[in-house]
Copies of this chain bind each other. A is one copy, B any other.
């Protein structure tokens, strides 16, 4: 643990740092395009007259750093009582929907009499997500007014007139039979894929599930072959049911990885325990190579240069549904733990945890969800890569999304003004230095780009990637995984022959 004193932690606050994160559409800053229109303070959010601090100007993490004009401090002094240095969750309060232990018995008994809604594995993951407050201030599956705002505006308007980001419809589909069984009941019990009642929805509202419109507005295409659509939406019912969620106990998977599944509340506690004064989140669904590690370590270095005393990395692999050719969660978690054991990332300033959301592969729409959920877990910096949450077009030979749209949309998204977006700097294998390094276009020929496909080919053929691409113990995890795939491929081929 770093020996950071509370006094030093106060430094960025007492400096009243303000980061102007303004997305510049015709910017010449390709690697670093910061955000739109809002001034973000780490102490409060009252915009104030600003004085430019030129010494920070070189820092590529922000386009401009300002210090509040001292004459303005009296205006905002009333909001200076900060309990934790962590960013506020959306809506001001973290939603938690697990019923207190004393009420579980009566609530469960009550739910026995309610009409039942059977959940799929993906539905259950969303129950998990909502119940822990990743989607704060959402308190259950969306009713129609929330659904429509999400679909059309990627945000929800709160009672006080402010907006929170909400780019993916978080909805529960039911079929005609279930709708009929529910009738005019106002409450339903939720039944896990294993048959257990795990919670309930109250004050329910049932409305039409126009799948075509939902898909078109979420993905920007209705092409066949979208993984989440084929797995989850196409087979689902013609109705959506919204309502207030309660779960009877925290959702667990019993797959040996539950200890990695920290809730936003647990993460916030852990960040406070470590006396983090900045949290930067890295969303991933792939193995970590040394280019990622370089980026994450470089981010911490730059946050330290900005005056933070203890920036902590949230290395946050996605744990829900992924498409068939992604590396499975258990293999990724083993690989990530090797990377930390190997010291490529510093365990003292890194928290590895699983983000329970299913993956939509919905590009610019989904990356907003990925960022927003991390605000709720306490992250105030979010690293965004090229083509986040993107994939190849299912039926055409091109990327489904413009690779730059993710970070552009993220930088302009309503409700994300308080989050600092850190665009990914491109790392590649430097064949001269024999290590992963930030790509230098002036000596482009000396860099080698190792794609996911290339990595898979290395692992499958047993060939080693260049030295310094990934720590050997992490690489071995992948080699083992791809070997097991080949074995099962061959054994199924043999079975087919037999």
Contact = CB atoms under 8 A, between A and B. Distances in A.
Contacts of A160: 37
Contacts of A153: 153-155, 412-414
* Most chain B CB atoms below 10 A, which of A23, A152, A217: A152
Nearest to A160: B37
Contacts of A47: 161
Nearest to A212: B221
Contact of A161 (B37, B144, B157, B413): B37
A464 to B, nearest CB: 39
A149 B210 contact: no
A139 B37 CA distance: 19
Interface string A355-369: 000000000110000
Given A402-B208, A414-B414, A36 B157 contact: yes
A210 B417 CA distance: 27
Contacts of A143: 25-26
A216 interface: yes
A216 B222 contact: yes
A167 B148 CA distance: 14
Interface string A134-157: 000000000111001101111101
Interface string A25-43: 1100000000011100000
A395 B412 CA distance: 35
Contacts of A222: 216, 221-222
A127 to B, nearest CB: 22
Contacts of A213: 220-221, 401
A161 to B, nearest CB: 5
Contact of A409 (B148, B221, B408, B414): B148
A210 B402 contact: yes
A249 B36 CA distance: 35
A413 B163 CA distance: 11
Contacts of A469: none
A285 interface: no
A405 interface: yes
Nearest to A146: B25
Contacts of A152: 154, 167, 364-365, 409, 413
Contacts of A212: 220-221, 223
A205 interface: yes
A38 B208 CA distance: 28
A58 interface: no
Interface string A370-411: 000000000000000000000000000000011001001100
A40 B167 CA distance: 27
Contacts of A154: 152-153
15 contacts: A25-B145, A36-B157, A37-B157, A37-B159, A145-B408, A149-B412, A152-B364, A153-B153, A153-B155, A163-B414, A216-B216, A216-B220, A217-B217, A222-B222, A414-B414
